[in-house]
Structure 1
């Protein structure tokens, strides 16, 4: 009986994975026959677990959504990952989720086996996050839920939006993705009135419901919404910009930078143009120095002057030592 109960728990754990399991694969995983798997599935159904089955060569078993949530079965690593994730959210930037996350964390830690509880507490004690550079904007979870639902259902959304200066605008958008970058959330959407892609900080959005009509799906801007956001958000914060000719193939330069640093356009097989920027000339100079290739800078004039000043400083720092007097 104990062996059967343990096998049922292992079977239930496999079925909770979001995929369809062929009976033969389940039998191999549990080292039993296909007939035993069929009997175990029937036992789970008798216990109230809605296990769906499909016939044919591509058929199999999967756990369907039921009226009641079955007990959640997690492996050791999964349990540790969920616990650490809840602990991170409790310190995160989602308004209203801190207390809920702490309550869920307390319940989970209460039922963790001693060996896992020790692992979790060790991680919590010795894995310390670096505090944010500044206060992070809180994101309303209800707003986040509305946005991701509109993305999923492909429904137009009317929203009020505050720009960086605090000015309010009314926008009609076709939401594409919600992107989390660090401690901020961004909505990537097609702006209907401007006929172009735009990014919106979620903490500045007030959605208006109900949502509008459905729209035809589009490919993510630049092929990847996260890359698009990192490039747009960084560029919007740049105080200084520069277009630099780099004496290296575009592919080599791309390997050394990320979208938050700039974009690369090939000129020929051996040179390319880097469109880059930063909030300070010192940071911009560091980015260029880390390229590992020669480059030409002609503008802006303040960057040229700054690089010359740095070149002179570096030159002075490496002067040959004067010979000592006897």
Structure 2
């Protein structure tokens, strides 16, 4: 019986990925006859797992979602992933801390003692760092509403704070992908009014009731949604509230500036080869250093405190003698 149970658990682990697994592959991995595989499949079905038999070429067995949650099987790596994910998600989603804690307790209660020790070993505390320039956690309900529209491929109607003053804009878009980058949530969507792709800040968006209007396939821009988000300069970013804030025109294309600017910066297009970068830091010298990292010519430096800080940095570096250089 112990051998049969262990084999059934191994079969469950193989099928848990959701893909169809050929009968011949299962018999090879489990080192049993096909009849034994069928018997173990029936055992798992009796426990509540919905496993369907796929006939024909490429046939085998496949796990599918059921109407109720059956017993679950986790290995050590999955336990670590669950423990870390449930503890760190409140740092990026607002209003989910209690649910995450309850979910972790629920999962832990059904774990064998050995895996409970594995889970306890990964107790973490997430602390913000000033260098991260992260935005406040986003409301979990926004992610849920937008995620549902993406999954169902339904047109999304929403109210969007279109600028820093928060003036509302009514949108009707095809939502395609959510991207988290630099501590901020973005939505890659096709704007049906503009007839063009847009990158929207999720924390400035309020979804309206579902439209139930389906949309079809549409090739993603550049085939890479992540890079498209990073290189889109007008993605709705706002200036972080640092004590020292400045503005400089760089001889850098807007898309490159947008990709390498820190979170909490705002990029504006001047022309194809130039961009205005507004950002902040904890001191004028620190802000000057951030601009220097772009290694580009600078123009229209504002305010005067930033210009003076750049001069101080230039003089300080100029005093370094050859013997002092590493």
| Both structures adopt the same fold (TM-score exceeding 0.5) | yes
Shift of 1:132: 5.2
- 1: CA distance between counterparts of 2:94 and 2:301? 45
**8 Å Cα contact 1:83/1:105 also seen in 2:** yes
**8 Å Cα contact 2:247/2:301 also seen in 1:** no
- 2: CA distance between counterparts of 1:258 and 1:165? 21
**8 Å Cα contact 2:23/2:60 also seen in 1:** yes
- 2: CA distance between counterparts of 1:259 and 1:142? 28
Could you tell which deviates more after superposition, 112-121 or 1-10?
112-121
After superposition, the C-alpha distances for 1:117-154 in whole angstroms (9 at most, x for unaligned) are: 33333331xx5433254885443333322212222333
Please give the TM-score of this superposition, normalised by the length of structure 1.
Answer: 0.75
Aligned position for 1:99: 98
User: For residues 45-56 of structure 1, what are the structure 2 equivalents within 5 Å?
Assistant: 45-56=45-56
**8 Å Cα contact 1:235/1:277 also seen in 2:** no
After superposition, the C-alpha distances for 1:242-268 in whole angstroms (9 at most, x for unaligned) are: 44389xxxxxxx9xx9923499xxxxx
Aligned position for 1:119: 118
User: For residues 13-24 of structure 1, what are the structure 2 equivalents within 5 Å?
Assistant: 13-24=13-24
Aligned position for 1:310: 313
- 2: CA distance between counterparts of 1:168 and 1:235? 13
**8 Å Cα contact 1:155/1:211 also seen in 2:** yes
Shift of 1:102: 0.7
Q: 1:240 aligns with which of 239, 242, 247?
A: 247
Could you tell which deviates more after superposition, 219-228 or 54-63?
219-228
Q: 1:130 aligns with which of 118, 127, 131?
A: 127
Aligned position for 1:219: 219
Aligned position for 2:149: 150
Instruction: Go from structure 1 to structure 2 and tell me whether the alpha carbon gap of 1:242 and 1:141 turns closer, same or farther (over 3 Å shift).
Output: same
- 1: CA distance between counterparts of 2:23 and 2:108? 34
Please give the TM-score of this superposition, normalised by the length of structure 2.
Answer: 0.75
- 2: CA distance between counterparts of 1:305 and 1:135? 28
In the alignment of these two chains, the number of paired residues is 298
Shift of 1:319: 6.9
The answer as to 2:29 corresponding to 1:26 is no
Instruction: Go from structure 1 to structure 2 and tell me whether the alpha carbon gap of 1:214 and 1:48 turns closer, same or farther (over 3 Å shift).
Output: closer
Question: Which blocks of at least 5 consecutive residues in structure 2 are unaligned?
Answer: 240-245, 268-272
After superposition, the C-alpha distances for 1:211-265 in whole angstroms (9 at most, x for unaligned) are: 163333323334322223333378955753544389xxxxxxx9xx9923499xx
- What value does the CA root-mean-square deviation take over the aligned residues? 3.6
The answer as to 2:49 corresponding to 1:42 is no
- 2: CA distance between counterparts of 1:194 and 1:31? 59
Instruction: Go from structure 1 to structure 2 and tell me whether the alpha carbon gap of 1:107 and 1:296 turns closer, same or farther (over 3 Å shift).
Output: closer
- 2: CA distance between counterparts of 1:63 and 1:296? 55
Secondary structure of 2:259 counterpart: coil
**8 Å Cα contact 2:134/2:182 also seen in 1:** no
**8 Å Cα contact 1:297/1:304 also seen in 2:** no
Shift of 1:21: 0.8
